[in-house]
């Protein structure tokens, strides 16, 4: 396959940035999207040009490093697929492909297609954990957890923190990322003691980072490579409302989606 | 070089408990005076950093990724072993210990392995308390599955994402400490040198991957949790960024590197599809619980798998190893796959693949059950290959996956350099010549949560407290060396990219020091790798500058270390003139092709001392004493 790439190039945070055009020649349909970029980069290096910078690591869809807007869609056209797992067989020979970084005020561009997602880390640091020190934990089977709750928690915990939800949202909201962690921990008995404080602290941090608010557009759900359901946002809203009004919150009540 | 493993005396079952009692403590008020640098944020690094900060130490943490949550532990799929015996199927600490020792083909330390089995139980409790969403039974109890090399079900799991969930648990514990100001986190920062002053590790030199800034950090102890070196082979299941740089540079500063030739090949990966391939993807070993492995009986049979009748299929693992069948250990399963492919019976493009077939399991328990157990793996397989594994068998082939070798450590996880601790995959200690499935997560968390936090306190309590400034001449010398090397890489402006060199060196290792090795093939590596290295330093092209984010420079810097390290690996494989576990020397096998160990001559840990690039390293031997189990011929038949 031969493709024409239109790629966002930006030298640094302060550089203005621009789209540049590259040809990707002799691309195999069995290549992943990032392997296709590898081919382009190797060619650039051979011509003494600087390769396109993009974040990537595991290349099996789990580390959450990669994140590209491909033809305006976060992670590209395949449902539930990260850019590293997207294969070129989903593109047509001769196609023009537009590749851009995540666009959000809270995710400043560092270089080319690499953005700074440390805001996500700070949201977790604000409360996305259970405060338990190492040692002294009771036996793992001491508290039975209904399978249904464990499964709901796992569905939400599958978030890889890639930021596609933010990139896809017209408001650049990180609600899906935030609600995924809130829902994960709210569905487990171990998460109950801090449930109220957690949701408050995480939402406050989310707002401080400059992410927008959720207006129920659901682009996040559509873009999420791990199919985190938008119902986690319903759970978040419910917990948050209880946290700021009653001051007590749902306590140990069973969590559920919506 | 003195290598004292410092194994405590007494009965096996009491060593760790006694040692914990005998170790000195640091009082809470004094803990805050000690600073620890933790490099790497996988399971071992994150769990250690969080725990040390909870105890009150000053902790600084470094990772090359943009967030500590992205370390490659995240990709572990199958599960984590623990001797809980929840299934009432006869498991115990002693059984997990014995399985691990046997799985490692009797090349690991008894005392370390027993301790690992012992603390395995605490890990599960800790993770549950952190909110790790382990799979549950309908009654709310923890579920287990079985894994290769074991006849009990002791593996805890979170669908096919166990590593992710355990890492997020540790990452969240670490995040709590960062948020509380008790840990200083340095993401996008790579360690490029270890600073040793008067025989003691005093700090590290790092490069900020965003600005290119070279910086020194001084501390009372350095903890390396930087993972394994599978990427020496270019194609492996490791993340692209995984590298040997931190441990290799510690080796160059005097740390002993142990058993570098013990590299594990995972039997169930998606086969290579072409030269463009940048990495290989693993399909969890847990699939072997329900999948049956086979190839056509006839060589060169090109029919679609579904049209090959039962009578013309060879379920070779079930045939050769009736008691373990498709759950035979990794090294054995991998070699068996290579063997049938060498016979011309391999399947798929290039003929390097075997079938992993779920048709019988789907018939037995239904597609829905298989989907709930392995759905995400089947999806991943389809994304990569375009094939639906519910309707036709998967194609799999072995790939480099894990490295049992690593920096030498004593029972306290301290290397031969005082103050340098090494944990997780980066050390050599617990898996011998072959690691069992679901034991890497166990070891990473055991080291980080439950072992290092005790032993490092003992070190501090007995070491001289002395603050060394980063203005010290040795820090400056190391910084200058790092600068010079980067300057050199950028100045060569040759014709080949670092990735081309990496691919070439990786293929050389895979072909000659991979699944099977011989004196001839290893000598080939030792001849060609120095040539390739010489060419690298003459002909590599690294674009850009050192003053900003430069991924080509990062890669070249790592490849340069692999080009030196590969020689160490091959040299170890050459001097270990026996077969054991994953180390298969074709000269040493039984008539049926099984690995032939030589306990009379090789019952030791190889620990190498650096003597200069291109020079033969000095081999030190730590004898392995088996007091509680008797090494036997490993049989899974």
Each residue of B486-525: pLDDT tens digit? 999 999 999 999 999 999 999 999 999 999 999 999 999 9
Fold observed for domain B473-601 = Methane Monooxygenase Hydroxylase; Chain G, domain 1 (1.20.58)
pLDDT class of B279 with cuts at 50, 70, 90? very high
B172 contacts A129? CB cut-off 8 A: yes
Q: Are A157 and A204 in contact (CB under 8 A)?
A: no
Residue B195 makes CB contacts below 8 A (sequence gap 6+) with: B201, B202, B203, B204, B205, B216, B218, B253, B474, B475, B478
A30 contacts B273? CB cut-off 8 A: yes
Chain B residues with CB under 8 Å of A57 CB are 65, 70, 72, 239-241
Q: For residue B58, what is the enclosing H or E element?
A: strand B58-62
CA B632 to chain A, closest CA, distance in angstroms equals: 35
Q: For residue B439, what is the enclosing H or E element?
A: none
Q: Are B122 and B24 in contact (CB under 8 A)?
A: no
B66 contacts A65? CB cut-off 8 A: yes
A89 contacts B66? CB cut-off 8 A: no
B140 contacts A144? CB cut-off 8 A: yes
Q: Which CATH number fits domain B266-400: 3.30.470.20, 1.25.60.10, 3.40.50.2300, 3.90.700.10?
A: 3.90.700.10
Q: What is the chain A residue with the closest CA to B385?
A: A30
Average pLDDT over residues B228-246: 98
Lowest-confidence segment of A25-34, A245-254, B295-304, B597-606 by average pLDDT: A245-254
Q: Are B617 and B636 in contact (CB under 8 A)?
A: no
Token pair belonging to A179 = 């609600």
CA B63 to chain A, closest CA, distance in angstroms equals: 13
Domain boundaries A3-111, corresponding CATH code: 3.10.20.30
In the residue annotation, B182 being an active-site residue is answered as: no
Facing A62 at nearest CB: one of B74, B274, B277:
B74
A130 contacts B276? CB cut-off 8 A: no
Task: Check whether B482 has a pLDDT greater than 70.
Answer: yes
Percent of chain B with pLDDT over 90: 89
> Which of the residues B119, B129, B545 would you substitute to probe the A interface, choosing the one with the greatest number of A C-beta atoms within 10 Å?
B129
Angstrom distance (rounded) from CA B456 to CA A33: 45
Q: What is the chain A residue with the closest CA to B274?
A: A30
B137 contacts A140? CB cut-off 8 A: no
pLDDT in tens, chain A (258 residues): 999 999 999 999 999 999 999 999 999 999 999 999 999 999 999 999 999 999 999 999 999 999 999 999 999 999 999 999 999 999 999 999 999 999 999 999 999 999 999 999 999 999 999 999 999 899 999 999 999 999 999 999 999 999 999 999 999 999 999 999 999 999 999 999 999 999 999 999 999 999 999 999 999 999 999 999 999 999 999 999 999 986 554 444 444 443
Complex prediction ipTM: 0.95
Token pair belonging to A193 = 């003691």
Facing A117 at nearest CB: one of B67, B84, B164:
B67
pLDDT averaged over every residue in chain B: 95
Return the residue matching tokens 């970029």.
A37
Angstrom distance (rounded) from CA B257 to CA B522: 19
Segments of A25-84 assigned E as strands: 69-70, 73-74
Cα three-residue angle B215-B216-B217, rounded to 5 degrees? 125
Chain B residues with CB under 8 Å of A125 CB are 175-176, 178-179
CA A102 to chain B, closest CA, distance in angstroms equals: 15
Percent of chain B with pLDDT over 70: 100
Task: Check whether B293 has a pLDDT greater than 50.
Answer: yes
CA A156 to chain B, closest CA, distance in angstroms equals: 10
3-state helix, strand, coil in chain B (%, to 5): 40, 15, 40
A80 contacts B136? CB cut-off 8 A: no
pLDDT class of B631 with cuts at 50, 70, 90? very high
Indicate the angle between helix axes B551-575 and B245-252, nearest 10 degrees: 60
Angstrom distance (rounded) from CA B541 to CA B556: 9
Task: Check whether B273 has a pLDDT greater than 90.
Answer: no
A116 contacts B281? CB cut-off 8 A: no
CA B80 to chain A, closest CA, distance in angstroms equals: 14
Task: Check whether B199 has a pLDDT greater than 50.
Answer: yes
B137 contacts A150? CB cut-off 8 A: no
Q: What is the chain A residue with the closest CA to B543?
A: A50
Chain A residues with CB under 8 Å of B239 CB are 57-59, 63
A62 contacts B161? CB cut-off 8 A: yes
Chain B residues with CB under 8 Å of A55 CB are 66
Task: Check whether B302 has a pLDDT greater than 70.
Answer: yes
Q: Which CATH class is domain A118-245?
A: mainly alpha
Facing B449 at nearest CB: one of A61, A134, A145:
A134
Token pair belonging to A37 = 């970029």
Angstrom distance (rounded) from CA A40 to CA A2: 11
A190 contacts B128? CB cut-off 8 A: yes
Edge-to-edge strand list for the sheet holding B214-218: B189-197, B200-208, B214-218
Distances from the Cα of B481 to the Cα of B194, B476, B484, angstroms: 11, 9, 5
CA A89 to chain B, closest CA, distance in angstroms equals: 9
> Which of the residues B51, B122, B128 would you substitute to probe the A interface, choosing the one with the greatest number of A C-beta atoms within 10 Å?
B128
Facing B67 at nearest CB: one of A132, A161, A187:
A161
pLDDT of residue A248: 53
Cβ-based contacts under 8 A for chains A and B:
227
Q: Are A137 and B126 in contact (CB under 8 A)?
A: yes
CA B26 to chain A, closest CA, distance in angstroms equals: 17
pLDDT of residue A247: 57
A199 closest CA partner among A210, A221, A183, A214: A183
A133 contacts B54? CB cut-off 8 A: yes
Using only the alpha carbons of chain B, give its radius of gyration: 24
pLDDT of residue A257: 41
- β pairing state of B406-407 and B257-258: antiparallel
- β pairing state of B58-62 and B183-186: parallel
pLDDT of residue A258: 38
> Which of the residues A15, A28, A62 would you substitute to probe the B interface, choosing the one with the greatest number of B C-beta atoms within 10 Å?
A62
Number of residues that make up chain A: 258
User: One of B70, B115, B182, B330 is an active-site residue; which one?
Assistant: B330
Domain boundaries, chain A: 3-111, 118-245
Q: Are B42 and B73 in contact (CB under 8 A)?
A: yes
Q: Are B43 and B163 in contact (CB under 8 A)?
A: yes
Q: Are B356 and B268 in contact (CB under 8 A)?
A: yes
Q: Where in chain B is the domain with CATH 3.90.700.10?
A: 266-400
Facing B549 at nearest CB: one of A53, A137, A161:
A53
Facing B178 at nearest CB: one of A35, A125, A144:
A125
A11 contacts B548? CB cut-off 8 A: yes
Distance from first CA to last CA of chain A, Å, rounded?
A: 46
Facing B240 at nearest CB: one of A59, A62, A144:
A59
Q: What is the chain B residue with the closest CA to A191?
A: B131
A42 contacts B497? CB cut-off 8 A: yes
> Which of the residues B54, B133, B547 would you substitute to probe the A interface, choosing the one with the greatest number of A C-beta atoms within 10 Å?
B133
pLDDT class of B294 with cuts at 50, 70, 90? very high
CA dihedral B3, B6, B11, B14 (to 10 degrees): -140
Q: Where in chain B is the domain with CATH 1.20.58.100?
A: 473-601
Residue A236: burial class (beta carbons within 10 Å; 0-12, 13-18, 19+):
buried
CA dihedral B32, B37, B42, B44 (to 10 degrees): -60
Angstrom distance (rounded) from CA B475 to CA B215: 9
Average pLDDT over residues B413-427: 98
Facing B276 at nearest CB: one of A12, A35, A58:
A35
> Residue A45 phi/psi, 5° resolution?
-60, -40
Lowest-confidence segment of B24-28, B126-130, B375-379 by average pLDDT: B375-379
pLDDT of residue B349: 87
Q: B159 in the Ramachandran plot: left (φ > 0), alpha (ψ -120 to 50) or beta?
A: left
CA A39 to chain B, closest CA, distance in angstroms equals: 8
Angstrom distance (rounded) from CA B441 to CA B156: 11
């Amino acid at each position: 396959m031969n493709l024409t790439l239109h790629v966002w190039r930006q030298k640094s945070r302060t550089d203005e940035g621009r789209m540049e055009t590259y040809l990707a020649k002799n691309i195999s349909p069995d290549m992943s999207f990032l392997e296709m970029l590898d081919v382009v980069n190797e060619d650039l290096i051979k011509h003494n040009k600087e390769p396109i910078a993009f974040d990537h690591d595991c290349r099996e869809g789990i580390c959450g490093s990669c994140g590209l807007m491909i033809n305006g869609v976060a992670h590209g056209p395949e449902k539930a697929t990260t850019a590293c797992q997207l294969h070129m067989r989903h593109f047509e020979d001769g196609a023009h492909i537009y590749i851009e970084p995540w666009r959000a005020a809270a995710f400043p561009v560092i270089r080319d297609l690499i953005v700074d997602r440390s805001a996500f880390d700070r949201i977790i640091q604000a409360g996305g954990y259970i405060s338990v020190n190492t040692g002294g934990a009771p036996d793992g089977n001491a508290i039975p957890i209904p399978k249904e709750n464990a499964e709901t928690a796992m569905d939400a915990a599958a978030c890889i923190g890639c930021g596609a939800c933010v990139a896809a949202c017209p408001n650049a909201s990180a609600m899906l990322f935030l609600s995924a962690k809130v829902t994960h921990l709210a569905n487990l008995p171990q998460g109950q003691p801090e449930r109220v404080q957690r949701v408050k602290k995480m939402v406050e941090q989310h707002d401080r980072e400059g992410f927008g608010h959720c207006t129920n557009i659901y682009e996040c759900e559509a873009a999420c490579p791990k199919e985190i359901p938008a119902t986690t946002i319903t759970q978040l809203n419910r917990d948050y409302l209880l946290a700021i009004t009653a001051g007590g919150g749902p306590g140990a009540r069973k969590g559920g989606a919506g | 070089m003195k290598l004292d493993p410092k194994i405590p005396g007494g009965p096996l079952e009491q060593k760790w408990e006694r040692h914990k009692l005998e170790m000195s403590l640091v009082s809470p008020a004094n803990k805050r005076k000690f600073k620890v640098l933790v490099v790497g944020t996988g399971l071992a690094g994150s769990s250690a950093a969080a725990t040390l900060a909870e105890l009150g130490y000053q902790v600084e943490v470094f990772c090359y990724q943009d967030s500590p949550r992205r370390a490659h532990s995240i990709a572990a799929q199958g599960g984590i072993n623990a001797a809980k015996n929840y299934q009432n199927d006869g498991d115990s600490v002693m059984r997990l210990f014995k399985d691990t020792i046997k799985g490692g083909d009797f090349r690991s330390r008894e005392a370390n392995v027993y301790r690992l089995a012992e603390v395995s139980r605490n890990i599960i409790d800790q993770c549950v308390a952190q909110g790790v969403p382990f799979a549950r039974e309908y009654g709310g109890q923890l579920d287990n599955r079985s894994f290769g090399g074991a006849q009990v079900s002791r593996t805890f799991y979170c669908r096919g994402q166990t590593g992710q969930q355990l890492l997020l648990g540790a990452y969240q514990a670490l995040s709590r400490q960062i948020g509380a100001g008790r840990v200083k986190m340095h993401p996008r920062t790579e360690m490029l040198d270890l600073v040793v002053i008067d025989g003691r590790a005093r700090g590290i030199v790092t490069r900020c991957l965003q600005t290119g800034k070279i910086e020194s950090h001084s501390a009372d102890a350095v903890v390396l949790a930087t993972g394994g070196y599978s990427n020496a082979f270019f194609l492996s299941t490791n993340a692209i960024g995984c590298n040997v740089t931190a441990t290799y540079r510690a080796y160059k500063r005097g740390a002993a590197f142990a058993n570098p030739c013990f590299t594990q090949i995972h039997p169930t990966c998606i086969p290579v599809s072409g030269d463009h391939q940048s990495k290989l993807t693993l399909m969890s070993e847990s699939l072997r619980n329900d999948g049956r492995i086979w190839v056509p009986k006839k060589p060169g049979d090109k029919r679609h798998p579904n049209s090959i009748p039962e009578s013309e299929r060879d379920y070779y693992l079930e045939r050769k190893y009736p008691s373990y069948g498709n759950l035979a250990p990794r090294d054995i399963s991998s070699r068996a796959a290579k063997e049938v492919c060498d016979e011309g019976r391999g399947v798929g493009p290039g003929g390097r693949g075997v079938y992993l077939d779920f048709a019988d399991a789907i018939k037995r328990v239904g597609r829905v059950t298989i989907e709930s157990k392995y759905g995400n793996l089947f999806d991943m397989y389809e994304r990569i290959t375009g094939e639906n594994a519910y309707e036709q068998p998967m194609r799999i082939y072995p790939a480099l996956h894990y490295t049992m070798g690593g920096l030498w450590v004593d029972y306290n996880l301290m290397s031969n350099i005082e103050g340098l601790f090494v944990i997780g995959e980066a050390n050599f200690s617990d898996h011998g010549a072959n690691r069992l499935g679901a034991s890497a997560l166990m070891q990473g968390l055991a080291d980080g949560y439950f072992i290092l936090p005790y032993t490092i306190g003992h070190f501090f309590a007995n070491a001289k407290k002395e603050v060394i400034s980063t203005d010290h001449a040795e820090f400056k010398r190391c910084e200058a060396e790092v600068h010079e090397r980067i300057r050199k890489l950028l100045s060569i402006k040759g014709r080949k990219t670092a990735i081309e060199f990496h691919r070439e060196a990786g293929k050389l290792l895979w072909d000659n020091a991979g699944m099977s090795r011989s004196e001839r093939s290893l000598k080939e590596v030792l001849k060609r790798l120095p040539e390739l290295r010489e060419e690298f330093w003459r002909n590599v092209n690294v674009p850009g500058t050192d003053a900003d984010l430069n991924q080509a420079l990062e890669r070249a810097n790592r490849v340069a270390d692999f080009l030196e390290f590969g020689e160490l690996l091959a040299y170890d494989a050459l001097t270990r003139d026996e077969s054991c576990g994953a180390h298969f020397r074709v000269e040493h096998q039984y008539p049926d092709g099984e690995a032939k160990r030589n306990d009379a001559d090789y019952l030791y840990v190889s620990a190498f001392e650096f003597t200069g690039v291109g020079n033969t390293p000095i081999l030190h031997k730590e004898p392995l004493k088996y007091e509680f189990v008797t090494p036997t011929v490993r049989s899974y038949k």
